[in-house]
């Protein structure tokens, strides 16, 4: 029997259990234990992809959990913890010998054994294998072939963001300039784009899209995710879903309205003012820009529409974006209703008004209907929710 699962497959570890840094820019509270607990108890995530599992201490901790029987390997790959399934991943940075890049990609392995082998292989090709998102000194296609040899998944990450992405500063026009297109399993969109925007690039029509949080703190988990239909939450079942096999599929992508992303608009790199691509800033005169995803996609546009099998993309407003919904109010909501998935998608208007002011209840419901007014972000600054559209 098939079931629907919530999956966020791009979550960083900030620190090991000994306090050693893994993702330097991530919060120290992002330990493996807290990620798993937050996913199961607070966020309502069924499958998490932790993308720093190449780190020796992280792998050792997971192996210890299996030995202590607080986790067990699934027959189809992945590891089952209490209330949540873990997929073993790593994020690396590639820089092609031809000068294309740097580009971030996600690599996922089905088992501890295959991740251990990949970890050893990568360690010979990076300067510090104890840290996340490290540059791998190897041809991209060689990495892709290694991932395929180990029965893993190769997924270009946040592909339109201005920094360290395929279409940002990665390549000029096509992902074929750096990758073998036949060895790509899916495309991760990133916070400043959605399905409609991405499908302007015709060469992407062949790939399934993933929407993940790229969480650098616990609260950022599940700001983007996907609902996936599987028989069980295993790695093999997920691979089948990416290929739309026998009813396994991505049912919906949930993500920010792209305007809320940090890189939607083009802005001046100096003062942050909105600027036209290639024009001097009208405020400070600088010609240095951080090009927005919307403008970059206008340059790349090569097609319309997308494949009929493309699942719907649901614009979602994370609770932390709701005006006047602060930490204490969020705690009240979680105490009353359980997980964020319940609050965002299922709790009724009457139930919400019993716990929070009517204006906040109204905005949570308006967010479900995509009727909140949004001010676009850019240049590294998130967009803002201003008010409900009456």
Asked if 250 and 126 sit in the same domain, the reply is yes
Same domain, 43 and 84: yes
Question: Of the candidates 241, 256, 271, which is a domain's last residue?
Answer: 256
Report helix angle 112-123 to 140-149, nearest 10. Answer: 150
**Cβ neighbours of residue 211 closer than 8 Å, sequence gap 6 or more:** 188, 189, 224, 225, 226, 253, 254, 255, 313
List C-alpha distances in Å: 23 to 15, 19, 30. Answer: 7, 12, 9
Model confidence over 240-288: pLDDT tens digits?
Answer: 999 999 999 999 999 999 999 999 999 999 999 999 988 999 889 998 9
Q: What is the pLDDT of residues 101-151, one digit of tens each?
A: 789 999 999 999 999 999 999 999 999 999 999 999 999 999 999 999 999
* Spans in the chain with pLDDT lower than 50: 389-390
Q: Is 359 inside any structural domain?
A: yes
In a domain, 310, yes or no: no
The pLDDT score that the predictor gives to residue 370 is 86
Are both 94 and 208 inside the same structural domain?
A: yes
Last residue of a domain, one of 234, 256, 278: 256
Q: Are both 129 and 166 inside the same structural domain?
A: yes
Give yes or no: residues 149 and 272 share one domain: no
Quick check: is 298 in a domain? no
233/356 same-domain check: no
263 in the same domain as 250:
no
Does the residue 297 lie in any domain?
no
pLDDT of residue 170: 66
Domain stops at, among 256, 272, 303 = 256
307 assigned to some structural domain: no
- Residue 35 in any domain: the answer is yes
The rounded distance, in Å, linking the Cα atoms of 356 and 209 is: 35
Q: Residue 123 maps to which CATH number? A: 3.20.20.140
The stretches of 91-205 forming alpha helices (DSSP H) are: 112-123, 140-149, 195-198
Q: Are residues 114 and 160 located together in one domain of the fold?
A: yes
pLDDT of 181 reads 97
What gap in Å lies between CA 18 and CA 57, rounded to an integer? 9
For the chain, the domain total comes to 2
Task: Answer whether 0.85 is exceeded by the pTM.
Answer: yes
301, part of any domain: no
- Whole domain around residue 278: which residue ranges? 259-290+319-388
* Within a domain: 328: yes
So what's the pLDDT on residue 172? Answer: 75
């Amino acid at each position: 029997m098939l079931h629907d699962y919530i999956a966020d497959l791009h979550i960083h570890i900030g620190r090991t259990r000994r306090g050693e840094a893994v993702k330097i820019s991530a919060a120290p509270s992002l330990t493996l234990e807290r990620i798993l607990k937050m996913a199961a108890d607070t966020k309502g995530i069924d499958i998490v992809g932790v993308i720093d599992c190449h780190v020796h201490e992280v792998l050792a901790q997971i192996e210890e959990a299996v030995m202590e029987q607080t986790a067990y390997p699934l027959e189809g790959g992945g590891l089952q913890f209490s209330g949540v399934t873990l997929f073993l991943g790593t994020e690396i940075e590639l820089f092609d010998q031809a000068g294309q890049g740097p580009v971030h990609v996600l690599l996922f392995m089905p088992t501890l054994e295959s991740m251990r082998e990949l970890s050893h292989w990568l360690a010979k090709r990076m300067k510090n294998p104890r840290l996340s998102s490290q540059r791998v000194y190897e041809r991209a296609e060689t990495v892709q072939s290694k991932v395929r040899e180990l029965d893993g998944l190769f997924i270009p990450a946040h592909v339109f963001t201005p920094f360290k992405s395929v279409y940002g500063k990665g390549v000029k026009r096509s992902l074929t300039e750096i990758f073998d297109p036949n060895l790509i399993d899916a495309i991760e969109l990133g916070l400043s784009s959605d399905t409609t925007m991405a499908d302007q690039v015709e060469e992407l029509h062949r790939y399934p899209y993933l929407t993940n949080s790229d969480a650098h703190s616990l609260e950022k988990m599940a700001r983007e995710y996907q609902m996936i239909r599987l028989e069980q939450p295993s790695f093999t079942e997920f691979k089948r879903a990416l290929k739309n096999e026998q009813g396994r599929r991505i049912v919906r992508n949930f993500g920010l309205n792209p305007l809320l992303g940090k890189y939607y608009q083009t802005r001046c790199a100096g003062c942050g003012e909105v600027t036209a691509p290639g024009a001097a800033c009208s405020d400070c005169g600088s010609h240095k820009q951080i090009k927005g995803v919307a403008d970059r996609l206008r340059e790349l546009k090569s097609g319309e529409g997308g494949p009929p099998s493309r699942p719907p993309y649901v614009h979602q407003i994370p609770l932390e974006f709701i005006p006047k919904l602060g930490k204490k109010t969020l705690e009240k909501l979680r105490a009353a209703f359980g997980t964020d998935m319940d609050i965002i998608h299922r709790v009724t208007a009457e139930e919400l008004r019993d716990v929070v002011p009517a204006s906040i209840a109204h905005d949570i419901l308006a967010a479900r209907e995509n009727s909140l007014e949004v001010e676009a972000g850019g240049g590294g600054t998130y967009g803002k929710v201003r008010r409900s559209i009456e």
